[in-house]
Amino acid sequence: MTTTDGGLEPPPSSQPRLHQHGREIQEFGSVKQFPLGLSYDARMLSCEQVNQILADSQILYAMYKKHHWHMRGPTFYQLHLLLDKHAQEQLALVDVLAERIQTLGGVALGDPRHVGELTSIERPPDGVEEVPVMLSRLLDAHEKILIHAHAAAARAAETGDDGTNDMLVSQVVRTGELQAWFLSEHLVDTPLVRA
Ligand SMILES: [Fe+2]
């Protein structure tokens, strides 16, 4: 049998075609046209801002796991569980953020090495820090993401990108604020038994 360009089709085979290569078909930082009633500029701006929050949220997720493993001391068990809960909630947000970018026609960043290049969150030491320092570090990361999310939500509202505004406010900001509350209360120096 011949193909449309006159060549010979390969015979049927159950062999998977392995080790395939090809060129990139959409560049990072670009958006394709989707019929969403949103301008190109609005979608470009939202994708850029959400990618920044996505990078920082992926780092926050990884920091939560690192600190979940590195917890110690009398409140080890409680904090070990709490940090893992927050990590899972951040991981869910990472998916929401990435899929928002795809919904707008953009390209969500995914490779951890790319994430490391774009994040604005300071890299912690590779070893273990004291517990209050680890918690404080997580709070700093939260605040950085919250500042970005508030600003990005306001810009999305200005450009008419209501879906991005809603996602940032109702999911990123609200989840981040709640997690920051739970962490902050562990840094209050309060007596446990005698006032
Ligand atoms: Fe675990």
Give pLDDT tens digits along the chain (195 positions): 556 666 788 889 999 999 999 999 999 999 999 999 999 999 999 999 999 999 999 999 999 999 999 999 999 999 999 999 999 999 999 999 999 999 999 999 999 999 999 999 999 999 999 999 999 999 999 999 999 999 999 999 999 999 999 999 999 999 999 999 999 999 999 998 899
Q: Provide the whole-model pTM.
A: 0.93
Q: Quote the pLDDT of residue 63.
A: 98
What pLDDT is recorded for position 192? Answer: 83
* Residues 79 and 129 sit within 8 Å (Cβ to Cβ): no
Task: Please give the distance, rounded to the nearest whole angstrom, from the Cα atom of residue 97 to the centre of ligand 1.
Answer: 24
- 134 C-alpha vs ligand 1 centroid, how far in Å? 17
For residue 30, the model assigns a pLDDT of 98
For 114-153, give one letter per residue: b (16+ CB within 10 A) or e.
ebeeebebeebeeeeeebeebbbbbeebbebbbebbeebb
Question: What pLDDT sits at residue 176?
Answer: 98
Calpha distance 75→192 (Å, rounded): 12
Ligand 1 center to 171 CA (angstroms):
24
Distance CA 3, CA 72 (A): 66
Residue 113 CA, ligand 1 centroid: distance in Å: 23
The tens digit of pLDDT for each residue in 97-106 reads: 999 999 999 9
Closest C-alpha to 70, from 12, 152, 158, 132? 132
How far, in Å, from the CA of 9 to the mean position of ligand 1?
51
pLDDT at position 165? 98
CA of 155 to the centre of ligand 1 (A): 37
pLDDT of residue 182: 98
d(CA 166, CA 92): 16
- Report the separation in Å between the CA atom of 184 and the middle of ligand 1, taken as the mean of its atom positions: 22
How high is the pLDDT of residue 171? 98
Q: Cβ–Cβ contacts within 10 Å for residue 184, how many?
A: 13
